[in-house]
Structure formats: structure tokens, C-alpha cells
Chains A and B, each alone.
Chain A
Amino acid sequence: MKNKRIILPEKRYEKAPTEDMSLSVKLQGKRKLLTNDERDTVLNVAKLFDEERQDSDIYKIHGKIKMIFRNMYSGWTSYRPLNDKLYILDDGSSYRFYGYMPYDEFAFLRKDVLREEPVVPTLDEIGLSTFDGFNTTIVGDTTHNTITSLDSSKFNWNLYLSYIDSQDTGHTMTYTLSDETSLSFVSEDGIPFRVNYIKPYYRLISPVEHGMNQGEYIIIDDYPYYVNLLGNENYNSEKYVINILKSQVPVGETGLTSNVIVTGKRCTDKNNLTGTTSQYYVHKHKTLTDVDGYILDKAGFESPIWEDEKKLVFENIYGDNNVLVERNRMESLLYDFKEPFVLTGLTNNLGYLPTEVYVSVILRNSNGYFEYPPKVGYSFNFHDTYVDDHFDGSNSQETTLVGTTFYREADGDPYWFTSGSSVPIGTELTGAFIEYNPIEMKERIISESIYKFYTNIDNFDYGQTGYTSTFTGATLTNPFGYFYQPHYRVKLRELSPYVETSDVYEIENLPQNAKYFGVDGLWKWRDLYKHGYTDDLGNGTDYPFINNIHYIKNDINFYLKNEQIYQNKPTDLSDFNSSNKINC
């Protein structure tokens, strides 16, 4: 029943005359007798199917995962178990044998496992007439670690389901410019901007999409500046460049300084700073499955389009002949979470039932060749020509991932390694950097989180701690390495792109994301689309539904990139005239 307000006639406008009004309330009776004759029901299977589909909160998540990676760092090691397997590049005349790390150290599915192989016997007629089965031999290397065929899919990487449980407004970040100017800030401070003064504007350039529009405000040092113009002469620059008139600087203030970094927050109404200023934070994921929760297996005979790189080494450094070494193997695998995921009893960071979960790919590093735990950064922490200060030291480490240090001896020398452990259910992981605007009731992803890792220089040295002709800033405490995106979004339900409003106070069946805005006297929410509904913009979900389960196929292209060599890192302004080769 609609909530209606009746206004007295004299309240309609000034000096309005009074009028008699009456309100009569009638009692209406309803008498319905029991149906005594036959009952007919039209069976509507489609309707029943739809009801069951909407009622089901069970999801089966599976898909393909493809490794997209080129092993590009050549280096050397004195640790024999690794040296034995290097994809050697030279003949050792430089005293050291340089080569690429074997691909098995990056593989989702390792091949170098300890296993039994049947020994092929040589038989003649008599031998065949008495043949009674095979003897077996053991193959596989155990000099560094024993890896059985059962371990092969979980030794380097682990897959978990996770959801966004909370948010962190105090996540520490650093943004560094090529001239080593840097700024440390926390996530709630907003987006970093480089400041230039181009008369009469301050030009603010962000390394990520700023998400602001002309006519809105940018809050810098708690003061709202009107956004006068967006963009500069570059294509697509309106997403990254903001121009504000210098004359806006309040009297008595010195204004902004050129070539420094400031942080800015989006605001849509300077008269309602609290209510319309965006909030900035990073997602905190919580894992929903453990290391035994998934299967990873070969996808039949499928392989990606890029070629494998392997060769037979005539003789390696230790004099072994005909050693097969592998630099790259193009893996295309199937993953499948064994148990269907039941979407119930969870609350996300915004206080309602999550509409998405994530497949989290976590470096396990059981062999310990890489430093552990990995470090966490964002897209603005990766540059084409230098290492960002963000990764210096241990402040950016993903501390919820626990490493175990172990020791091996080779040729009389000690070597130390740190391997990762499996992640228990409920472990918190760092997710994307987010802008949330309370008026729009929508999160915007500023940058996905990115994990970075590198090898210990004592175990494999590819120059990660020093300068190269094209890449600077690396130090012993801040080496360059590899990076990848750990969390991949799986959409379970879809919220409408528009915001619904109502001024009626009590409404039934509001979605969980509804909020009451006292200033406007309005309820606002985003509609939760039904399963099977897709709007004209393509928003919605339409997953196969059978066995009371929604089957979500979510393919992942897993990009593992070389920090020093990959030349297309920044998502901001690109110089399209550059002849830089794009390497991955």
C-alpha cells in the first residue's frame, strides 16, 4: 500500500482558503468459499525453472587458466641443483655460465617430478613367453627438493576462492617519479598527482584514471578546487590530467609547488564535502577455500599460440651430456573448485551479500628460489625505466603469507631459501585500490593489486640489484623482478548501473545495498538483477543453471611480467609515436 500524504488546503500556498474535507472509512467484506469441484493447474515448467534459478545460491566456479609469460632474465648461479637446469646461453668462456631460470620454477604444473617409470625390457620369443610385468625405475631430481606428481600442481602456485571482507583506509603507498621525487601516503588520502604549473593553470597528472569530471572538485590538502579543464594535448589525457586555475588558491596560501606529488580526492559538491567526497581504500580479501579445494589439470591437448622454448644442451657446466633445458612452456590448464560455493552468510566491505568472489592466484614458491612473501603494489608502482621506492625494504610485503626458511648445501657452500606455506581459510589478502563515491553508491577500481617477487641474488643473480642502461633505481633492498595480478573477479550477481531512489520511508524487499540519505530524505539503492536478465548495456548474469547450481566458467589469462623488460607498464598517458618494443 502506498504511503500518501494529504496536505491541508490552507497549506497549499500562502493565504489559501480553508475548506471542509471529509474522510470516510468504509469496511469492505470479503467472503470466499472453499472450492469443492476439481482443481486445474497449468503447469509452467519455465516459470518453475526461473523460480528455482532465482532461489539457488550455489555456484560452481571453473575455467581455464593460461600462463602468458616469457622468461627474460638471464643470470648465473653457483648453486649446483639450479645451475644444472639453467637454459644456458653461452659457453662459459666468461667464467660463469649465464642462462635462464628453468621454466618449471614458474610453471603451474611442474614436469620435473619424482615418479616411477616402467623399464622397457628387451625380449625375444622366449622372453615374451615368460614375461610377467614391468620393473620400474625412479626418475626425477631430488637434489633440491622432492616433488612428487601429486605435488606438481600445487608446488609453485596455489588457487583460492576469496571475497572482499573489509577495506583498509590506512594502507601505506608510495609513488615515485623518474627524478626520484617520491611521496608516501595512505590509501584514504586519494590518488597521487604530479603537479605542473602551466600559466594560468596548475596541471595535475595522475598515473591512474582520476575518475573526475569537469565541474566537480578535487580536494587537495582539505581544500576543494574547482576542476576547470580536463586533459592536455595527448589522446585520452582527459582521464589522467586535471587543470585548475591558480587563482583558486585561497588568499594567504602559497599554492601548489611544481614537480611535487600531491594526493587528491574527488568531490561532487563543495557545499556538502562530507557527503559527496569519495572515499579511497584498498580491498581486503578473505580466503574461502584451502589448498586442497581445487583441481588443476591439463586442458586436453590445448596449448596457447606462443611457442615452447627448450633445447638439448650438449654438455652443461658439470659435464653432463644431453641435458634438456626449458626456458618457456605455454601452459593452458583447467581449474575447478571441487565443492560448489554457497553464497550465504557473508557480508562484504559495504555491508551486503557479495555480488562477486575472486579466484586468487598466490605464489607458493615451495622451492624457495624467490624471496618470500611477495610484495604488494599498484599499477602506478611499475615504471618502464626505474624501480619505485614503494618496494624498498619490507614495508610492502604481503605479511599474511608466511614463509619458511630452509637450508641446503651444495659444493660445500650453504644456501638459504624461503618457501611459502599453504594459506588457511580466512586468511586476509590485499586487494584493489578503490574509490567509493557515497552519492553514486559505486566502487571504482583505481588499480588492481599487483604482487611482485624476485630471486635472492645469492641463489640466482640476473643483475636485479643494480643499474642497467635502461633501468635504474634497483638496490639490494629494492631489486627488480616479476609481477602479476593475484585476484581475478568472478561475477555472481549484477547490480544495476543506475541508482534507484524513493522518498517513501518504509519499502518492502529493498536490496541489501539500500541506504537512507537523511539529507535528501531518500532511500537509494542499486537493483539486484535477476539471474538470466541482461540489460541493453550488457549488464547482468546468465549462467547455465542445472543441478540447482549456477555454473560459472571464468577463464583467466595469467600475465606474469618481467619488471625490467616489459615496456608497457603504465596505464596513463602513452606516447604512441614511441618505437619502444613491447616485451612481456
Chain B
Amino acid sequence: MKIRQLNTDQTLNINIPTDFKLDLGKEESLKKFEEETLRDIINPIENYETSRFMHKPYTGYLGDPSNLQCDIWFQFYFYNDSSTPTHIGGLDYSLVGIDISENSKMLKQATKSFFRLEFYKVPEGEKPERMNRRLVFAKNLSLPLGERVFYENINELIYVPVFTGSNFKNKENMYLFWFQDDSVLEETILIGDTFYMTARFFNGDDGSISNFSNTPKSITDNINENNEIYYQYVFDWTDYTYEVFEFNGTQGNRIGKTDSPIKFYEIAGGD
């Protein structure tokens, strides 16, 4: 800054502000507290980003440890139509009213039917049941996503309730999506790496809904919901994968692989 020449004396006042802090700094503390509180209550930063989890690779088809695959298999058995229904030969949609012709021709009642895989969380240390479970997400397996067999009576391919998910085919039932960082779920039952899955079938032919168990039960058996309805999924954040285990109250063997499909068996009653 330059001061231009004048014929008068010049004075420049430089003010030096001082703050004696007569409130002993309490005002600043309150201001800071106010800011921190606002940060907590208005739009706090939470990370709800989700990630893709794939079926954990396993050795399989060539018996060579270096060859891995991540295909996942599901089989859904309906009750057969014998006088005392069992699940033998239950991989057949005609048992629930979608006959061979409707199946092969992909009529509405076939294409609109689907299995729904429901994934639940329960409080840590508890077994899943209707009272404590909470639905977190679901995946639908519609009938045309399934596998087919050649039915020689009509010389056509028909769908059967067997599904496979594969990263090669990019099928829907291969990947699951969940929080990349589940710390946002702290203090809720949603936190943790364990999920429980059960299945239902929504029949596009008659509008009925079928429930399933993880073990074959006769039509008159009672169902122990804690142990006989669910399979257990365990997520792994280190490589964004999941594994599926048998569950009869405690974790069993890993399943879902080629030689050990996830098997669901229809049970009596539905909702």
C-alpha cells in the first residue's frame, strides 16, 4: 500500500484487537459443542455402499486343487402325488399344477411362477424363528431361469425346479449384495456375517404359496422351525464371498456345490 503525498500531517491508526475472554472460553466450547451436535444429528455421514458377494470358489470338477469354480446349485422338491406323499420324484412342476404342456410352451402360469429365496438376520447367538428373524433381502428364481430336461413323451425340453448360478453364465442367483462396511448397522440385529435363508414357491397357476424345509418331512410331521427351515449363509468381507452351510440348529457341512446342492423340500401349509 502506498501513501500518496499530501500537504498535511498524516496519521495511520493500526488497531490491535484483544480479547480478554471474560466468559473463560465457555462460549467457544459451546460453539464447538453446537457444531459437533449438528454433525451428529443432521445428515450424519454413513456409508451405505453395497458390494457384490460371490459364491466362494471351491475345488471340484477335475479334482485338481488348482481348478476352482463357484457354481451354486439349488434343488426344490415338491410332494409327489402318491397316497402318502413323499419327495421322491419331486423335481417336477406338474406336481404343483403346472403341467408338462404349460411348462414346455412357457405359458403364463409357468413364466409367472417363481421361487423366492428369503434371507433373514437374527440376534447374535439365537436360532432363527418367526419371532426373532428380520427379512433383509430376497432373490427370485423364476421358472425359466431353471435347468431343463428332455421329456420324450412330447419330444420337447421342459423346466425342472433345479437352478444353478454361475459367474460364466452371469445368472441372477449367483451374486448377493450387502453392505461393504456393515458398521452402519451397529446396535441392530442386522450386523454380522451370518444370514439364514429359506424358500417359498409362488405358484402362477393357482396363486398358492408353498413353504419348504431343509429336510424331507412327511405331510403329517411337525416342523421345528429353529432347525428345519433354514440354511446358513456366512459372508466373508476379505474376498467378498459367501458360503452356504447346512443348519439344524448348529452349522453343518458346506453345501451348494456341484456334488451337494442346496435342497429344499415342500412342507404342508403355506402363507
Measured CB to CB, the residues of A under 8 A from B are 2, 4-7, 9, 12, 16, 19-35, 39, 41, 43, 45, 48-49, 52, 60, 113-116, 118, 120-125, 128-134, 136, 138, 146, 148-150, 152, 292, 295, 297-298, 338, 340, 546-549
Contacts and interface: CB of A to CB of B under 8 A. Distances in A.
A123 B152 contact: yes
29 contacts: A5-B1, A26-B13, A28-B16, A30-B18, A30-B20, A31-B22, A34-B27, A34-B30, A43-B38, A60-B49, A113-B168, A118-B164, A124-B152, A128-B92, A129-B92, A131-B89, A132-B89, A133-B91, A133-B261, A148-B67, A148-B68, A149-B69, A150-B69, A150-B70, A292-B239, A547-B45, A547-B47, A548-B47, A549-B47
A41 B25 CA distance: 20
Contacts of B10: 19, 21-22
Contacts of A136: 61, 258
B253 interface: no
Given A35-B27, A116-B60, 18 more contacts: A5-B1, A5-B2, A7-B3, A24-B13, A25-B13, A25-B14, A25-B16, A26-B16, A28-B16, A34-B26, A123-B149, A132-B89, A132-B91, A138-B61, A149-B167, A150-B70, A338-B51, A340-B49
Contacts of A123: 149-152
Interface in B5-19: 5, 9-19
A150 B20 CA distance: 69
B172 to A, nearest CB: 12
B137 interface: no
Contact of A549 (B26, B49, B148): B49
B5 A16 contact: yes
Contacts of A129: 80, 88-89, 92
Contact of A12 (B5, B91, B153): B5
Nearest to B45: A548
A45 B20 contact: no
B143 interface: no
B12 A23 contact: yes
Given A26-B13, A31-B20, A149 B45 contact: no
B52 A295 contact: yes
Contact of A32 (B23, B43, B150): B23
B91 A27 contact: no
Interface string B43-55: 1011111011000
B246 interface: no
Nearest to A51: B39
A24 B11 CA distance: 7
Contacts of B150: 120-123
B243 to A, nearest CB: 16
Given A125-B153, A298-B170, A338-B240, A116 B43 contact: no
A52 B14 contact: no
Contacts of A120: 148-150, 157
Contacts of B147: 118, 134
A128 B69 contact: no
A29 B49 contact: no
Q: Which of A5, A28, A115, A124 has the most CB of B within 10 A?
A: A115
A297 B42 CA distance: 38
A136 B148 CA distance: 13
Nearest to A24: B13
Chain B at the A interface: SS class = loop
B34 interface: yes
B247 to A, nearest CB: 21
Contacts of B151: 123-124, 128
Given A5-B1, A30-B19, A131-B149, A116 B45 contact: no
A136 B16 CA distance: 87
Contacts of B140: none
Contacts of B167: 149-150
Interface residues of B, number: 68
A104 to B, nearest CB: 13
Contact of A4 (B1, B5, B49, B71): B1
Contact of B89 (A26, A30, A34, A128): A128
Nearest to B46: A547
B75 interface: yes
Interface in B134-162: 147-153, 157, 160, 162
B157 to A, nearest CB: 7
A27 B18 contact: yes
Contact of B67 (A2, A19, A114): A114
A441 B1 CA distance: 28
Given A33-B23, A43-B38, A131 B91 contact: yes
Contacts of B38: 41, 43, 48
Query: A5, A6, A546, A547: which has the most chain B beta carbons within 10 Å?
Result: A547
Contact of B34 (A30, A41, A298, A548): A41
B57 interface: yes
A133 B162 contact: yes
B166 interface: yes
A252 B153 CA distance: 102
Contacts of B51: 338
Contact of A121 (B48, B149, B168, B261): B149
A138 B26 CA distance: 75
B86 to A, nearest CB: 11
Contacts of B88: 129-130
Contact of B149 (A28, A128, A146, A149): A128
A136 B260 CA distance: 13
B89 A547 contact: no
Nearest to B22: A31
Contact of A19 (B9, B39, B46, B157): B9
Nearest to A23: B12
In the A-B complex, the 4 residue pairs with the closest CB atoms: A129-B89, A149-B168, A34-B23, A4-B1
A175 B152 CA distance: 70
Contacts of B14: 23-26
A20 B153 CA distance: 119
B168 to A, nearest CB: 4
The interface centre, meaning the residue of B10, B38, B66, B147 with most chain A CB atoms within 10 A of its CB, is B10
Contacts of A295: 52
A134 B162 contact: yes
A14 B44 CA distance: 65
A24 B129 CA distance: 83
A124 B43 CA distance: 62
Most buried by B among A138, A298, A548: A548
Nearest to A136: B258
A21 B8 CA distance: 10
A62 to B, nearest CB: 11
A116 B68 contact: no
Contacts of A116: 60-61, 69, 71, 258
Interface in B56-96: 57, 60-62, 66-71, 75, 80, 88-89, 91-92
Nearest to A125: B153
A125 B81 CA distance: 13
A150 B68 contact: yes
A149 B68 CA distance: 8
Nearest to A30: B19
A468 B20 CA distance: 89
Contact of B168 (A12, A25, A115, A338): A115
Contacts of A35: 27, 30
